[in-house]
Amino acid sequence: MRGPRLLNGHVVLSADDIRRAIRRIAHEIVERNRGLEGLVLVGMRTRGVPLAQRLAAAIQEFEGAAVPVGTLDIGLYRDDIASLELRPHIQPTELPGDIDGKRVVLVDDVLYTGRSIRAALDALTDFGRPASIQLAVLVDRGHRELPIRPDYVGKNIPTSLHEEVEVCLEEADGRDEVRLVRGEGER
């Protein structure tokens, strides 16, 4: 099923593009927050996790200091579990210590309707009261259903509802690539 669909897809971000986008976002995060004080990166499962780790590694490289990285699973906070595929895959949330008063940067691969982000905000606020929550995404594909906007974007990709954005990351998929694929049009 995947084979023929991949033939339709075209690459919108190559491995080099992804590497550059991550470096740029890393710089933007440090610049906007004026340093690393109180900064925490939180990757949303599944592919937000390696992205958060790469951002932290990039920041470590040019700032010489480590930024704590956490992992967030939003499965128990979704308002759309009925429409999810039959893969109830819930894993633990692991945050690096207390997030009270911290500046949390949520990291996800694709921003679409905004519903995952809403769930992530609910989940995060169950763990404490951060000073601020910012949002970094590799791809913003539009079609928001909630008043949510990203603070850091790797690439804006205008899409139609019939298309799907396929993100492959080395840690999960063995290679870095973002493709735009024609889907069945269901939402």
Partner 1 sequence: MSRERLSPEPASGGPVAPAIETKPRAGWTRSHLLDLDDFTPGEMETVMETAGAMKEVLGREVPRVPALRGKTIITLFYEASTRTRASFELAGKALGADVINVAAGGSSVEKGESLIDTVRTLQAVGADVLIMRHPSSGAPYLVTRHVECSVINAGDGWHAHPTQALLDVYTMRAHLGELRGRRVVIVGDIAHSRVARSNIWGLAAAGAEVVLCAPPTLLPAGMRPGEPGPEEPLALPRVEVETNIERAIAGADVVMALRLQKERMQSGLLPSIREYATLYQVTEQRLALARPGALVMHPGPMNEGVEISPAVARSLQSVVDEQVANGVAVRMAVLYLMARGKLS
Q: Single out the segment in contact with partner 1 by CB under 8 A; choices: 10-18, 19-27, 30-38, 161-169.
A: 161-169
Enter the tokens of residue 79. Answer: 């308002």
Alpha carbons within 13 A on the beta-carbon side of 175: 7
Task: Candidates 10-18, 19-27, 110-118, 148-156: pick the segment binding partner 1 (CB under 8 A).
Answer: 110-118
Cα separations in angstroms, 161 against 72, 115, 138, 149, 164: 27, 16, 19, 19, 8
CA distances from 140 to 73, 109, 122, 127, 163 (A): 20, 9, 21, 27, 13
Using the rule CB under 8 A, which residue among 46, 57, 60, 142 binds partner 1? 46
Q: Does 152 bind partner 1 (CB under 8 A)?
A: no
**The token pair that represents 47 in the structure block:** 């592919």
Q: How far is the CB of 48 from partner 1 (least distance, A)?
A: 9
Q: Is 157 in the site for partner 1 (CB under 8 A)?
A: no
Q: Is 131 in the site for partner 1 (CB under 8 A)?
A: no
Cβ-contact 92, 127 below 8 angstroms = no
Q: Of 127, 142, 148, 155, which lies in the binding site for partner 1, with binding defined by CB under 8 A?
A: 127
* Positions that interact with partner 1 (CB under 8 A): 2-3, 6, 46-47, 49-50, 73, 75-78, 80-94, 108-113, 115-116, 122-123, 126-127, 141, 164-168, 170-175, 181, 183
